[in-house]
Amino acid sequence: MRRNAGDVSTTPQTHCDSKIDEEVAKLLQLKAQLGGEDGKHQFVLKTPKGTRDYNPKQMAIREKVFNTIISCFKRHGAETIDTPVFELKETLTGKYGEDSKLIYDLKDQGGELLSLRYDLTVPFARYLAMNKITNIKRYHIAKVYRRDNPAMTRGRYREFYQCDFDIAGQYDAMIPDAECLKIVHEILSELQLGEFCIKVNDRRILDGMFAVCGVPDEKFRTICSTVDKLDKMSWEDVKKEMVNEKGLSEEAADQIGEYVSMRGGMDLAERLLQDQKMCQNKQACAGLSDIKLLFSYLQLFQVTDKVVFDLSLARGLDYYTGVIYEAVLTQAGVPPLASDSQNGASSEESAGVGSVAGGGRYDGLVGMFDPKGRKVPCVGVSIGIERIFSIMEQKAEASAEKVRTTEVQVMVASAQKNLLEERLRLVTELWNAGIKAEVMYKKNPKLLSQLQHCEEGGVPLVAILGEQELKDGVVKLRVVSTREEVDISRADLIAEIKRRTSEA
């Protein structure tokens, strides 16, 4: 998900607080370096502010979410690329408006001036220009970095994942754009996050609307930022900001107010094409025609049930040039983000209550990197995975089902002492046959502790060795869930384990 640029409403109060927090943290770190009271060197045992470790349970959930997303990207024929975690500072300059101050820079240790990547879109554009690639459909899943005010309980971190899918190339209008929306629809449906809605608009319609409502050209961007707040402020407050703070005429504001309350589907686009004022603006007409075309493709893709043409959608990033969209979870139970606006959050994260994906068309970005300014039209979507992780984690917590953190199928155990060698011999057989197996790293573990390990870790089977079993050439196979035990001959063991674990 691309957060908005150019609209960081940090209040002086929170800014100051966070500055104090940071300075205190630095002093504590220095104190720790100087040594504790016992003169011993003390470490501050933590991860950096706004970051976290993923424990095995969180990783299991993360893997599941990634698999769903990657399967979808692959189903749509995407290749994947990777880029370095840092770029030349210069590469990121001038792409993010005011949000540039949130970029992490590396220390100048001699050599190039470097910054951590802020999103995956700018590195993608740099990659296309550098390799003179004019068409590609690629996905990229990687961490990006922003020195934002973290709100980790709500899934906002300074280090976080983005899952981007983009289509670059000169194609017929709205076909790739529609596929991006199809992909968002597929992923959010498959992840079963509850009801959702995908809002669609177009930069050209917004600009055209501002023009016909009498907004002066130089105020387009700032009025656009104010419109973007409609999902967390009432129209009255938005109007007040336009008139009192941004100096717009009351008449213009009222006209905008009429438009931005409109939402619908293809019918709305058709109606606005007939609108006396709108139809006079060339840009708006082009945008509205494209929205109409987009909806016709969305019908064929069978996703119009969740897509709404919403004139109040105004994503902040500078680089969008055409259609824009944002997916929002609408079901109750999604942790609210209402207080974000008081926390100095940049506006996109707080944009939708439960905003989980966003994107749009950016036809000019690659040209900014090309020495001759050659353009490569692009459209893409970014899935906001951290929010989805939070929801999936909460669901996992609430559910009775245990999250497994390993895939072990069999524990090789022994009922008596002095059978370590026999256990190692058997587990080797299983590994060599491709079975996921483990033994305890003890010479003489208790049977009970071996069984307990299986119950806790969700290991479905135990292969138990004892003197008698060895004499008889069998292994006692125990089903952990039912405690049922059955003797299997050594020769049949691998086939039996494979049969039982493929059933599950």
Tokens linked to 430: 């299983």
- Block residue for tokens 């879109």: 121
Please identify which residue in 12, 37, 77, 305 interacts with a copy of itself, judged by CB under 8 A: 77
Among 183, 190, 224, 192, CA closest to 357:
183
Q: Which of 25, 152, 447, 480 binds a copy of itself (CB under 8 A)?
A: 25
Find, among 379, 376, 334, 367, the residue nearest to 353 by Cα: 334
Q: Which of 9, 10, 52, 270 binds a copy of itself (CB under 8 A)?
A: 52
Q: Quick check: 140 and 119 in contact, CB under 8 A?
A: no
Q: Indicate the residue among 63 and 455 with the shorter CB distance to a copy of itself.
A: 63
> Using CB under 8 A, which of the segments 27-35, 201-209, 350-358, 460-468 binds a copy of itself?
27-35
Label residues 80-99 b or e (16+ Cβ within 10 Å = b).
ebeeeebbeeebbeebbbeb
List 156's β-bridge partners, or say none. 151
Of residues 42, 134, 249, 501, which one binds a copy of itself by CB under 8 A?
42
Min dist. Cβ of residue 254 to a copy of itself (A) = 41
Map tokens 């026999």 to a residue: 422
List the alpha helices (DSSP H) in 360-460.
365-369, 385-398, 420-432, 447-457
* CA atoms of 217 and 220, how far apart (whole Å): 6
Of 282, 374, 443, 499, which lies in the binding site for a copy of itself, with binding defined by CB under 8 A? 443
Nearest Cα residue to 269 out of 308, 215, 221? 308
Task: Judge whether 184 and 68 are in contact, CB under 8 Å.
Answer: no
Distance CA 43, CA 316 (A): 41
Stretch that binds a copy of itself, among 169-177, 219-227, 331-339, 461-469 (CB under 8 A): 169-177
Rounded alpha-carbon distances, angstroms, from residue 181 to 69, 188, 229, 292: 14, 11, 23, 14
* Interaction of residue 32 with a copy of itself, rule CB under 8 A: yes
Residue 498's H or E segment, with its range, is helix 493-503
Cα gap 357→349, rounded to integer Å: 10
Q: Is 27 in the site for a copy of itself (CB under 8 A)?
A: no
Considering the complex, what minimum distance in angstroms separates the CB of residue 490 from a copy of itself? Answer: 16
Beta carbons of 92 and 103 less than 8 angstroms apart: yes
Largest CA distance in the chain: 95
Q: Is 320 exposed, middle or buried (0-12, 13-18, 19+ CB in 10 A)?
A: buried
Closest to a copy of itself by CB, 226 or 304 = 304
Question: In this complex, which beta carbon is closest to a copy of itself, that of residue 49 or of residue 498?
Answer: 49
Candidates 238-246, 293-301, 350-358, 388-396 — which segment interacts with a copy of itself by CB under 8 A?
293-301
Q: Shortest Cβ distance from residue 421 to a copy of itself (Å)?
A: 6
Residue choice 11, 13, 67, 131 for contact with a copy of itself (CB under 8 A)? 131
Is 56 an interacting residue with respect to a copy of itself (CB under 8 A)?
yes
Among 61, 122, 129, 451, binds a copy of itself (CB under 8 A): 129
Residues 353-412 that bind a copy of itself (CB under 8 A): 368-369, 371, 405-408
Residue type, 403: V
CB of 262 to a copy of itself, least distance (A): 27
Beta bridge partners, 162, equal 142
Residue 302, interface with a copy of itself (CB under 8 A)? Answer: yes
| Subset of 176-235 contacting a copy of itself (CB under 8 A) | 176, 179, 182, 186
Binding a copy of itself (rule: CB under 8 A), the pick from 12, 37, 39, 110 is: 110
Residue of the chain from 172, 305, 397, 503 that contacts a copy of itself (CB under 8 A): 172
Site string for a copy of itself, 317-356 (x = CB under 8 A): ----------------------------------------
* Of residues 305 and 421, the one with the C-beta less far from a copy of itself: 421
* Of residues 378, 336, 347, 499, the one with CA closest to residue 1: 347
- From 2, 126, 199, 292, residue interacting with a copy of itself (rule: CB under 8 A): 126
Stretch that binds a copy of itself, among 127-135, 358-366, 468-476, 479-487 (CB under 8 A): 127-135
Give the shortest CB-26-to-a copy of itself separation in angstroms: 6
Pick from 97, 169, 194, 458 the residue near a copy of itself by CB under 8 A: 169
Q: Of 315, 322, 360, 365, which Cα lies nearest the Cα of 91?
A: 365
User: Residue 503, SS3?
Assistant: helix
**By CB under 8 A, residue 482 contacts a copy of itself:** no
Q: By CB under 8 A, is residue 44 in contact with a copy of itself?
A: yes
